[in-house]
Amino acid sequence: MVKISNFGTFKGKSVDQYTLTSSTGVEVDIINWGGVVRDWRVPTKSGLRSVVLGFDTFDDYPKHSPHLGALAGRVANRIAGASFTLDGKTYALPANEAGSTLHGGPEGIGNLAWDARADDATNSVILTLLSPDGAMGFPGTLKITATYRLDGNRLRLELGATTDKATPVSLVQHQYFNLGTTDDVLDHRYWFAAGAYTEVDDKLIPTGNILEVKPGSERDFRAPKTLRDASGKGIGYDGNFVLDAGRNLKDPVAIVTAPGGDLTLKLWTDRPGLQFYNALTTNVPVPGLGGRHYGQFSGFCLEDQAFPDALHHAHFPNIIVTPDKPYSHWCDIEIA
């Protein structure tokens, strides 16, 4: 049975927490503000271990969260110049990062209170959001559904959206993970099914070039490795990997193992890209779960996604949704 409790209020609306518990003892807390996975606890030999970054109190989320555990959109990642043209019309968006629009703008879907209900029969929570025509400058009334279902050690996220007019949609789960017991994730071991990446400029905007990963380079995760260079210094990442085309969707696209090997994360997705971010610029000014400080390299994000700034690169996978072509996207994450 899904446990429901009040976690706070946002603009007069109740923010509730839905706790999913599985037969293997995994516990996942999800709040209806931003669709945030607030905490995720996995059994280990030493007891339950929190494996995501989050906050113990709600007020810290709208004030201090760098999208911790949230759903991001309407269009996740960056839109260059905070504008785009669709069917001959140019749409101006709010610029909230270096002249670009990031994660749908300052009032994107990860910063709003959703409607939610529990489904005990499937051990799920179903979140819904109505984003009106013109929200953050985007056209079309968008109806979004996000369903989290916990089965054993695997959390499945199914995303869907319908619209009444053509509009761009690219949603993302923005969880920050730390599978270990230290304050950084540099010594985890990372493997990705990705032999290419989208090149970016100094503002992290794609140039349009899709480049092959050079064997043995910092971007080559086709053999498991840590995030340290030869001298032991941490390497920072914030970029989109192009997942191998023609892959079997039954196979994971990312595998990450904690130091000591006691926990391993596997991620499956139907998306073409994977944004890898290891908290390179993160510095949260308030304590996180259990009083932990979230600074540089405190977590890693595996954001399964369409390519960033796809609206300005016609050869990138199309992100335009229409009334007869709704949005659909799934992601499975297993930690055991």
Q: What is the CATH number of the domain that holds 147?
A: 2.70.98.10
Q: Residue 130: how many CA atoms within 13 Å on its side-chain side? A: 3
The pLDDT tens digits of the residues spanning 55-92 come to 999 999 999 999 999 999 999 999 999 999 999 999 99
Mean pLDDT of 122-131: 98
Mean pLDDT of 157-166: 98
Query: What are the backbone dihedrals phi and psi of residue 228, each rounded to the nearest 5 degrees, phi first?
Result: -120, 150
Residue 159: its pLDDT value, please?
Answer: 98
Mean pLDDT of 157-168: 98
**From CA 180, how far away is CA 36, in angstroms rounded?**
21
303 is catalytic: yes
The pLDDT tens digits of the residues spanning 178-194 come to 999 999 999 999 999 99
The pLDDT tens digits of the residues spanning 287-310 come to 999 999 999 999 999 999 999 999
Residue 202: its pLDDT value, please?
Answer: 93
DSSP labels for 105-167?
STTSGGGSBPEEEEEGGGTEEEEEEEE-TTGGG--S-EEEEEEEEEETTEEEEEEEEEESS-E
Question: What mean pLDDT is reported for the chain?
Answer: 98
Mean pLDDT of 230-254: 97
* DSSP structure class, residue 214: P
The pLDDT tens digits of the residues spanning 130-149 come to 999 999 999 999 999 999 99
Residue 270: its pLDDT value, please?
Answer: 98
- Residues above pLDDT 90, as percent of the chain: 100
- Catalytic residue, candidates 67, 103, 188, 303: 303
293 is catalytic: no
- Residues above pLDDT 70, as percent of the chain: 100
Q: Yes or no: say if 52 and 70 are a contact pair by the CB < 8 Å rule.
A: no
- Segments forming the whole domain that contains residue 315: 3-335
| Domain count for the chain | 1
Residue 124: its pLDDT value, please?
Answer: 98
Residue 296: its pLDDT value, please?
Answer: 98
- Catalytic residue, candidates 174, 188, 329, 334: 174
Residue 312: its pLDDT value, please?
Answer: 98
